[in-house]
Every structure is written in C-alpha cells, then in structure tokens.
Structure 1
C-alpha cells in the first residue's frame, strides 16, 4: 500500500510503498477515510533529533488524526461490522494503569516502557491506505462524514480538553475567554467555547482571513499590534480575561497571555512551541494559574463527536488525495492551508 513515511530526522517525509498492516490481538484494520495533517508532524520531521523527544524514532507512517471504515478484525475482536465508520483516539498507553483506566492514555504511568506515544507518533499512523489500531480506541461515527470528522481526533479534542478543565473560570455572568492562534485548533476552540459557555469569546491572530472565520463563529477579534493587549483588556472592562487559551505556545503569545489574564484567571498553553518567558512576582496577576495540557481522553473524544453530530463543531477541511499528501505538508509549512488539510486515500 502507499503511505507517507517519516524516514529520517530533519528530512521531509516520503510517499512510498509499504506492507499493508495485519491487525493483532485486540486490534482492527481500518480502511482510512481521512488523515489530518498537523503542525506536530512538521515538528517531528523538521525539528526533532535522535537526542530529542523519545518514542519517535523513524521510520514510521505519519498521521495521528484518523478516521476510517472497518476492514478486518484481529483475534479476539467482536462487535464491529465491516464498513462501519469510526474515529480513532490516537494516544496508546499501557491500558493497565490508573490514567489509562480513565481513558487518559496521554498521561500513562508506564509511558517509559511503551515503544511509542500514539498512532502516527512512533507507531504507524493513518497517512496510508490502511491503519491498524486497538479496537478500544475507536469512537463510532454512525452516519456522520468520516472525512470531515478526522481532525476532531486532535484539532478539536485538544482544545476541548483544555476548555473543559477551565470551565469553572467561565461559570457565571460577565466572563470572557481569549483564543490566541486561529489555525485548526483555534477555530475549533472558538466553536467549543461558544457552545459550552456564555462567555464573551475574544480571538486574535496575525491573519485577517482567520479572524474573519472566527468572527463568523461568534468571536470578537483583535488584530496583532502594539496595542493588542490594551485592546483585549478594554473588551473586558479593564479587568482582564478569565481564561486564556494559547494555541500557539510561542514566547510572544505566552507573554500576551500574561499581560491580559485577570486576577485569579487561568492561562492554558496548548500549542507546543518554543517558549522562554521571564517570570517575576509581578509578571502575572495574583493567583492567576499558568499550565499546559496535552490532547484529551477517550471519553472526551466521544463528547466531541456528539458535538460534531449536533452541528456545534464544524471543521473546515481541505481535502487532498494520498498522492497529494506531500503537497499538503508543503503548504502546511508555507502557511497556505485554510482550516485543516485532510488526506483521503480512497476518495
């Protein structure tokens, strides 16, 4: 079968022929419907080295945002019918520890003994014609479009997890939230905040077209500039933002979050960027929390799919054939992708 393979550190991936996987015990083989191209993939093949992030040694097939149709069942698997559509929960933990028992494979206690992080992150992913995954990691899609659903596995699940944890900060009248960065995760974040809270949603980005899409989803936008922080504070009556979600995770964006968060507010850094921010006692308002989150749980992905089916999350998808997958990654690096690039090997 054809697949997009991460062959070597700091080297652009290749589209090549590989063996079709065989599902092992407890696994299923999916005929891939859609595989989202994520900036994390770019970091893997552009930035990482053998001395850097563990569990990601090449070669392996990229693609950690995946959906597909049941093709074959591995030994011991029952309850699935060929042709049914499913979304894939990417993280794969030991499935024995407390975190995994909660469906929180991202924080697996035995991660050190696992040979990979997720499907598409150390283990072969979905940028291919077929994908083998644990049956436990499948979320049913029913009649929902599996291609447009593919980005939900990360681009929606990741901000959903961060927002859900911050809901106590947004409970009550007069609350506000800020989304920094309006790529695939940021656009989903705006939609999720509008669906789950009554907060005023403020959004900011360098791109005018991205801010226009956020406005269409109900956000108030503030462009980048010298007065960016002041304008955001002005929208909150000067008190600051109750919950900030930084989907970029770069030094300037984290610094902006520190400047605009309210006393006793919360800053969640979701984007995995290069950050070095000085901290002093007065650099962040009193009792303001600053933390990071990573992906989400299986249960939360079920909830995300429910929101998708209800029309509360509508991913903006640009489709590519498998033969066009490398072009999708090139355009992702160039910043010319609108929404989420999804590779469709069989359409």
Structure 2
C-alpha cells in the first residue's frame, strides 16, 4: 500500500473516531430541553411499554432532543431491557446518561406536587392528572360529595364542597393514593392552618370558618401583589359591615370560568349567586383555594377609610374613598 493512501486512511479513521465521539457525546451528555420554569417532571413507565414508546413520550415531555438518538443510546449501552416500570421524577437539565440511569433505578413511591395559591378545584384536578396520580374526573367526582370537616358546609348549594379548603402547598403524594386520599391530605393541611388562636379570633369577630375561607379566596384572586392583600381584605370587610355589595371582579371571573382581563358592565349583570355585584354579602362559597398570606390578610385587616379599589395594567391596586374618586382613577388608568 502506498504511503499516501495509508496516510489518507489514517486521517479518515481519526475523523471517523471524532465523529463517533461527537455522536456519543450528543447521545449522552447534551442537557435536555426542559422548560426553564419547571424543576421536575413526572414520568410514568408502564408495563409492556416499548423503547420506542418510551422515547417518544420523553421527547414530547421535552426530556430528550431526539427519540432516535435515545433509542440508539439504549442499544449501544445495552440498557434497553433494563428500564423499570414505575413513577419517576426527572430533575431539570439531566443529560441523557443521567436520564437512562434514573429510568433504571430512580423510580419513586411518592410524587412531589406543588399546588399554587389560588388554584381552583378544577385546576388542582388537572395538575394531578398531569402527574398521572389520578384522573381529573376521579378527583372532581370525589370533590363533589366528600366533606372531611363539618365547617365546609355553607348555607347555600355549591358545586364542590371542598373548594377553598384544600391548602396550596407542596405535597409528596404516594403513587397509589386515591382521589379521596389526596383530598384528605390537602384538607388536613388546611385544617392545621386553622389554629386555636385563629378560631378564637374568628369567634370574636362573629365570622365562621366558612365565611373566613370564602373571603380569603376573594382576596387571593384579587391581589397580584402581597402588599395589596390586607387593604383589599379591609375594603371587603368594610363593605360587608355596611351592607354594600363587595363587587369583586374575581367572583365574575369565577362565573365565567376564566381570568378575563377586563370585566365589562354586561359581565357584572350576569345572573348568578356568585355575582357579588348584584348580591349582598359573600358568594355561596370560596372561589379558589387561598394561601397563607391571604388567610393572614383577612385576619389582620383592620378598619379602613377606603371603599373602592381598581388594579392598574401592571396589577397594582389603587384605593379610593368615594365613587367619584374611584371613577377618576379608573379613567386615568384605562381612559373613557
């Protein structure tokens, strides 16, 4: 063989090795394409699920860059038959090697789920279904009729008696938990927030736990910023004391079923027991599950000189004493 040919073949072999190494690195060490706002994601591998099906699922969840490269990596590593069925929580920015190792031995007995403040029962149901714990339908069916604590009963009919009484927090939920088990877990946490001191304060203010949670749910949905929670609660309490409609836009959004940016005059005329523009007092029940800050805002809200408030385009609320002042602020923010 001529020397030139041997050199060319040698160069080709080196390039081939570099290419293979690059491919190997792409398969094994590139980070995943996880959403930056998500710390972990739940993956469920079921019995008889093929490598191709697993790869497609991981790709759709943004955990791998290519189903084909993932399957190739499994074949090359000899780990294709070693993936275990079960629940997995995959952290952000694992590379493919780490991902394969987790799917071999990292299955969990409980799934960590975070329920944000202000979630409704419907939103909680969707979150639990997304993490493959229970279906949304299973959760909502139980939520309609299951009432762990007597104080969840209000004087008027509601769709979900547990609405408002499931404490927003981070929970480690067993993978075999039923919908009833999950409601129990979250309701117990809310019950633990209702300390003896809080219950005594509510008695002193002649406010039931049901009314307290209902009012806190309105504050939760009205306040984007923490500094607004207490003054909003104070306005609502003053209006209730004076026998005025509390006129909460959040109650209108609950009727509509979505967070409408601007509530119209027509919206405020909707015929519903939850329309706090046309009824006096609180709605029939909570409109969301309030967090600790909104609960504290209701407890700490004292007397106020304000009767009105409106949120600007950034979500900051502006408080006024009279309707005329309120109209001027609304016009200054939104125009005619």
Q: More strand by proportion, 1 or 2?
A: 1
Structure with more relative contact order (C-alpha pairs < 8 Å, separation 6 or more): 1
What's the TM-score, normalizing by structure 2?
0.26
TM-score, normalised with respect to structure 1: 0.25
Q: Point out the structure with the larger helix share.
A: 2
Q: Please say which structure displays the higher CA radius of gyration.
A: 2
